[in-house]
Amino acid sequence: MIKQKTFKSSISCTGVALHSGDKVSMTLMPGKPDSGIVFKRTDIPGGGASIPATWDNVVETTLCTTLGNKDGVTIATVEHLMAALGGSGIDNAVIEVNGPEVPVMDGSAAPFVFLVECAGTIEQDAPRRFIRVLKTITVEDGDSVATLVPAESFSIDFDIDFESAAISRQSISIGMAGETFKKEVSRARTFGFLHEVEALRAAGLAKGGSLDNAVVVSGDKVINEDGLRYTDEFVRHKVLDAVGDLYLAGGGLLGHFHGVCTGHASNNKLLQALFANDEAWCYETMPVGSSAAKKSRRVWSGEVAAPALAATA
């Protein structure tokens, strides 16, 4: 069977929390087979500090994805790390954090992908479990529309539309095969508008935000001195967020996601709608060497060459 993967060794990093502005330390550690991704708050005494990274543990989606457990312990801004773990094919891991928020690093998933590569990965003696989408699921909220469609591999279409000429309308269609996530998505940074900063900070948010960890738009211009990493970095970051939010399904998806002006709330509502319908999904494991296995390897893994990427901005 296609086997589960975890870290070969533990690795640590330190960074700033995007919203609190506090300095945070985090350690990525190997996880046992079938344990999934589990966050552990090391600053919380006792045994109630573990928070499984699953869609049904999402407790807040304002500006980031926040997970919580039954004891009320939370961990925020998990989406970039989850995207890196999904894009790197990590099934099981323990993520120790000494605060209520994952460090933002440079605002993208690239630093976390680098950490995964430095730690290395190993296969485990357990088959990898995929979630196959069997029926089309759609959630709508005003102009926001999120859809999952049955497919043999994981792919994403995304469309955004902002009034600012620095962003405007951007669309991308991308298959998550091989090195595609790392090369074409992982470096896209979170973004925001300068005129919103004061309001966010007054609300206790974005205190750690800076030009070092976000693309900042003022009027119709990007004010970061180094400019953009991709000409359509904005829509690619929305793809990055979707990859992270959807990896909270508990495994790689066999399905196609289409997002129109969606965010963390829509992504989570889509998973809620999917798992609420027993006829819309099923778990699946793949034997190595079968045609189905070759297709499933394209999901989240680096074993198959990436397809051509089509994008418009």
Positive or negative CA dihedral for 277, 281, 282, 283? negative
Catalytic (active-site) positions: 264
| pLDDT grade for 297, boundaries at 50, 70 and 90 | very low
Q: Quick check: 138 and 145 in contact, CB under 8 A?
A: yes
For 22-31, 139-148, 185-194, 198-207, which range has the lowest pLDDT when averaged over its residues?
198-207
Q: Quick check: 126 and 135 in contact, CB under 8 A?
A: no
| pLDDT grade for 289, boundaries at 50, 70 and 90 | low
| pLDDT grade for 293, boundaries at 50, 70 and 90 | very low
Residues 218-241: tens digit of each pLDDT: 989 999 999 999 999 999 999 999
Question: What does the mean pLDDT of the chain come to?
Answer: 90
- Closest C-alpha among 223, 196, 197, 204 to residue 212: 223
Helix or strand or coil: residue 53?
A: coil
Greater pLDDT, 48 or 302: 48
Task: Give CA–CA dist 249/258, Å, rounded.
Answer: 16
Question: What residues pair up with 311 in beta bridges, in sequence order?
Answer: 172
Cα pseudo-dihedral 193, 258, 169, 209, rounded to 10: 10
- Residue ranges of domains in the chain, CATH in brackets: 3-127 (3.30.230.20), 130-312 (3.30.1700.10)
| pLDDT grade for 209, boundaries at 50, 70 and 90 | confident
Which strand (E) or helix (H) includes residue 230?
A: none
Exposure string of 119-146, with b = 16+ CB inside 10 Å and e = fewer, is bebeebebbbbbbbbbeebebeeeeebb
Residues 11-68: tens digit of each pLDDT: 999 999 998 899 999 999 999 999 999 999 999 987 779 999 999 999 999 989 999 9
Helix or strand or coil: residue 54?
A: coil
Per-residue pLDDT for 170 more than 60? yes
What is the pTM (predicted TM-score) of this model?
A: 0.90
Q: Quick check: 246 and 269 in contact, CB under 8 A?
A: no
Question: What is the Cα 309 distance to its own chain's centre?
Answer: 20
Residues 268-281: tens digit of each pLDDT: 999 999 999 999 99
Those residues whose C-beta lies under 8 Å from the C-beta of residue 273, and which sit 6 or more positions away, are 137, 138, 139
| pLDDT grade for 300, boundaries at 50, 70 and 90 | very low
